[in-house]
Amino acid sequence: MAATPEANYLYKLFDDTQFKAKMVVPYDDFLYHNPKQLDQLLSMHARRGKTVVIDKTAEHLHNEQQAIDLKNKLNEHGLLDRAVVLDNTQDETYFDRHGVRHQYIEGYIWFYLVQSDRPKPKNKALTHKFLCMNSFSKVHRWATISELHKQKLIADTLWSYRDDRKNFADNWYSKGEFELPKYIDQPGTGANTAEGMTFDQNSNLSDIYSRTEYTIVTETDFDEPYLTSCTEKSYLALYHENLPIVVSVPGTIEMLKSQGFDVFDDVVDHAYDNETDHKKRFGMIIDEVKRLKEIHPNIEPNRHKFNRSHMTDRAYWQKQINNKLKSYRFD
């Protein structure tokens, strides 16, 4: 939680860049766990009069209001013109609209894959065609599980829905109700209980993924127009040798491809990724799941091996991020 560059895990990425001499504020850690200390830290940097790096590299924007809140917080401390936000939002729209200086980096890959010592995937021992894991309840996640029930695909799906606090049974994508909470990964009695809050999502992921061929990835966001991003949810499906069908904002698949990943578009039709009408995109995703029910993917093993090797290549991603930081203009 220290504010000096040397004490922050990003420091190794700052080598030979102007960021190396900057102070780093682990923004989200303080915002959600100690907001008073966040204000103290920002005030201290404001008095020093130097550029500050706002570390949000394990997150991305989820809506425009978050960009507004970030602007207001920096303005409150006189740092708006001296702070640079690092996060995983590839689209600059909201940052530009509200005058927040920003640099996108591949923080999810660095934090969840490169820096994490994950076991290799287990050999497949199939029990279901699809996997669909859900933790926090959101409209598009609820709709996905609801529609899988309606289309009689739920028996082919290994699924979870841990959060029993929010109900979206009447949402505009797919109306329906189902069992709550639903666990496949680790027992518990609800996301709002002590057992639920101590959930370790990494404890047996290899076992879960090995039981399925495709992952219906219900990403964090779905119906926001300017939030091009991709989280560990999609990367982990590829890591564990599952073919992804991604319930996300438009452009997520294209983002994965631009990062060099094989998205198996010779098997999965990712046309939905280009559809900006959210309801149409949702329908296209469900139609593709229905089509894939009858298709057994025969994937050459080296394609999976490449994805896994690529996303854990420390030297490659360090250079990618470092080059982005080198090109950032502080003036």
Per the CB < 8 A criterion, the answer to whether 128 and 157 are in contact is: yes
Is the model's pLDDT at 194 over the cut of 70?
no
Which residues, at least 6 apart from 254, have a Cβ–Cβ distance to it below 8 Å? 273, 274
Span 46-57, pLDDT tens digits: 999 888 999 999
Confidence of residue 93 (pLDDT cuts 50, 70, 90): very high
The whole-model pTM stands at 0.92
Helix spans in 217-312 (H):
232-239, 252-258, 278-292, 301-311
Per the CB < 8 A criterion, the answer to whether 331 and 18 are in contact is: no
Q: Which helix (H) or strand (E) holds 218?
A: strand 214-218
What dihedral angle (degrees, nearest 10) is formed by the CA atoms of 34, 101, 229, 68?
60
For residue 187, the model assigns a pLDDT of 58
Span 299-313, pLDDT tens digits: 999 999 999 999 999
